[in-house]
Amino acid sequence: MERVLAGIRPTGKLHWGNYFGAIQNWIKLQDQYECFFFIADWHSLTTEYADSSKIRGWTIELVKDLFAAGVDPEKATLFLQSQVPEHAELHLLLSMMTPLGWLERVPTYKDMQQELASKELNTYGFLGYPLLQSADILLYNAKKVPVGEDQLPHLEMTREIVRRFHFLTGKSIFVEPQPLLTPTPRVPGMDRRKMSKSFGNAIYMDDSPEEITAKAMQTLTDPARKLRSDPGNPEVCTVYDFHKLVSDKKTLEWADQGCRTAGIGCVDCKKAMAKNAIEFFKEFREKRAAWDKNDKQLFEMIAEGSKRAQKVASATLQKVREAMGIQWN
């Protein structure tokens, strides 16, 4: 099986944007590829370095969510980046040969600095985070990396680094990773901006039925549909976007038709979406609640996954050290 690597930064529990935008795909990938999934806690430090007190708690929440969502340690290796220090060493070694301009021109570097303007991100660690991502990928010689369009420049930089390393050392060690572009649905937040914990517009995978219903009621509809008798347009309605994620074809047709003909009201439509969402995440909520009582097993599984990952990572790093002439044992 070809090897795939994917990581996620711990920012707390998973919301629908994380699930439908990435994790649902991970669950499928683990049946088709040899998957290495990791919690990128060092990447969190690039933006949370001033107050890192929450990262541990966020990591635990995230691991529980991932297992409850269906990441299966029998099929995939789930590990914690900071438990495999080879990531840091490869990052350092690659940094010696990576031109500064390559990092400065990564488009998300400037975008993220603007997006997170309240944080001081003029740091060495933040500039270098795409290179840490390259190290993450190359340690496992992952052939495929599931990425969104916005991550393509990072992957292209990783391929350039592979070519540069091979040219400078004369040793061919790394696989040039290819993108695994999977169509993922656009998941807006309740207010139609991007779903994000920091915007306060997220619906979480473990939200209770009451929370889901309350959030459905707050979700933006077609702004032009002011009266119950006005026909609406589901294409500009966030509730309908959510229907597409959790409802079956029959309900989608009911909502589409009812909206366009003013045959249904928005409250009915929201209630139907909430009912389907409650059902969709029922199994997840049950599994998640079980994980809340099982911290010991959780830590054991993470340690086991990290050990498995480290075996692969240290074998790659050994070759890198040899190629760079700094292998002493």
Q: Which two tokens stand for residue 290?
A: 């079980």
User: What is the nearest approach in angstroms of ligand SF4 to the Cβ of residue 187?
Assistant: 16
Closer residue to ligand SF4 (CB): 127 or 266: 266
Q: How many residues bind ligand SF4 (CB under 6 A)?
A: 14
Give the CA radius of gyration of the chain: 22
Distance CA(71)–CA(29), nearest Å, equals 10
Instruction: Give the nearest distance from C-beta 203 to ligand SF4 in angstroms.
Output: 15
Of the two residues 136 and 222, which places its CB atom closer to ligand SF4 in the complex?
222
Tell me if 140 sits within 8 A of 3, measured CB to CB: yes
Candidates 269, 274, 309, 323; binder of ligand SF4 (CB under 6 A) is 269
| Least distance (Å) between residue 223 CB and ligand SF4 | 9
Q: What φ, ψ does residue 37 adopt, rounded to 5°?
A: -110, 135
Candidates 40-48, 80-88, 98-106, 266-274; binding stretch for ligand SF4 (CB under 6 A): 266-274
Task: Find the part of the chain contacting ligand SF4 (CB under 6 A) among 170-178, 246-254, 264-272, 281-289.
Answer: 264-272
CB of 24 to ligand SF4, least distance (A): 23
The mark string for 206-245 relative to ligand SF4 (x by CB under 6 A, - otherwise) is ---------------xx--x------x-x--x-xx-----
State in angstroms the smallest separation of the CB of 118 from ligand SF4: 33
Measured from the CB atom, the residue of 151 and 251 that comes closer to ligand SF4 is: 251
188 lies in the site for ligand SF4, by CB under 6 A = no
Q: Which of 135, 202, 255, 313 binds ligand SF4 (CB under 6 A)?
A: 255
Q: How far is the CB of 243 from ligand SF4 (least distance, A)?
A: 7
| Half-sphere exposure of residue 74: CA atoms within 13 angstroms, side-chain side | 1
Separation between Cα atoms, residue 141 and residue 162, nearest integer Å: 11
Nearer to ligand SF4, 275 or 308 (CB): 275
CA neighbor of 141 nearest in space, from 263, 307, 324, 320 = 320
Range 118-152 burial, b when 16+ CB lie within 10 A, else e: ebebeeeebbbbbbbbbbbbbbbbbbbbbbeeebe
Q: 224 is written with which tokens?
A: 């032009």
Do residues 195 and 15 make contact, with C-beta atoms less than 8 angstroms apart?
yes
Buried b (16+ CB within 10 A) or exposed e, 192-225: beebebeeebbbbbbbeeeebbebbeebbbbeeb
- Give the relative orientation of helices 129-138 and 86-95 as an angle to the nearest 10 degrees: 120
Give the x/- contact pattern for ligand SF4 in 286-315, rule: CB under 6 A.
Answer: ------------------------------
Judged by beta carbon, residue 99 or residue 263, the one nearer ligand SF4 is 263
Q: In 3-state terms, what secondary structure has residue 142?
A: coil
Instruction: Please state the closest distance from residue 237 (CB atom) to ligand SF4, in A.
Output: 3
- State yes or no: residue 259 binds ligand SF4 (CB under 6 A): yes
Q: How far is it, in rounded angstroms, from Cα 310 to Cα 82?
A: 11
Q: How far is the CB of 222 from ligand SF4 (least distance, A)?
A: 4
Question: Which positions touch ligand SF4 (CB under 6 A)?
Answer: 221-222, 225, 232, 234, 237, 239-240, 255, 259, 264, 266, 269-270
